[in-house]
Amino acid sequence: MEPSKKISSKFPAVPDDLEQPKLFVLGAGPITLRKLRGSFLVGLGYLLSPLCWWNDLIFNLPVAWGVGYVLSLLSPTYFLPGTIVGYWLSNLVGILLMQFGAVDVLQNSTSDRSLVKELLIGVGTSTAYTLVVLVLCHFKVIDLSTLLPGEQFLSFGKH
């Protein structure tokens, strides 16, 4: 017998269906890297999304304030609109991360994904949430006067 045949006969053949490494969890079945990535994206998206009740103070408002601050360097009147855009974008990114992650976790194949549909749903839900927050701020249900200096808060409506 040839030496190469001796070695190959000692080790079983590697199956061809090993596209992704799999980890088996008791009672849960195989967990692929795609499902782990999806779980991570869902968690990160949850922290940025409007579904997490405490995220605004820790994640979204600092991001929104940072965007507003950078835009206020161009013109001081851009602070409040920039903050609103930053808040909307942080919520949008959170919702989209949750959608992409959930699809990775729940779907077995990526062939029936519609990226355009997922983006439209994410933009729509994030925009609706941001509009609700703006309406609550307009009617003073949410008071922003303690967070924003008077000139910047009032300059949004005047310019």
Nearest residue to 123 (alpha-carbon basis) of 107, 105, 99 = 99
Q: What is the pTM of this model?
A: 0.58
| 21, part of any domain | no
Q: What is the pLDDT of residue 56?
A: 81
Q: Which two tokens stand for residue 87?
A: 């808040």
Q: Is residue 26 part of a domain?
A: no
* For range 15-43, the mean pLDDT: 67
Question: Is residue 152 assigned to a domain?
Answer: yes
Using the predicted structure, report yes or no on whether residue 78 has a pLDDT greater than 90: yes
Report yes or no on 12 lying in a domain. no
Flag whether 19 is in a domain.
no
pLDDT of residue 3: 55
For residue 36, give the nearest of 44, 49, 90 by alpha carbon: 44
How far CA 23 is from CA of 19, 30, 36, 130, in Å, comes to: 13, 5, 10, 40
Q: How confident is the model at residue 59 (pLDDT cuts 50, 70, 90)?
A: confident
pLDDT at 155: 46
Residue 122 lies in a domain: yes
The arithmetic mean of pLDDT across residues 24-28, rounded, is 50
Per-residue pLDDT reduced to its tens digit, 34-49: 888 889 999 999 988 8
Whole domain around residue 100: which residue ranges? 34-158
Assigned domain for 3 exists: no
- Helix 79-106 with 33-48: angle, nearest 10 deg: 150
Residue 17 belongs to a domain? no
Query: How many domains are contained in the chain?
Result: 1
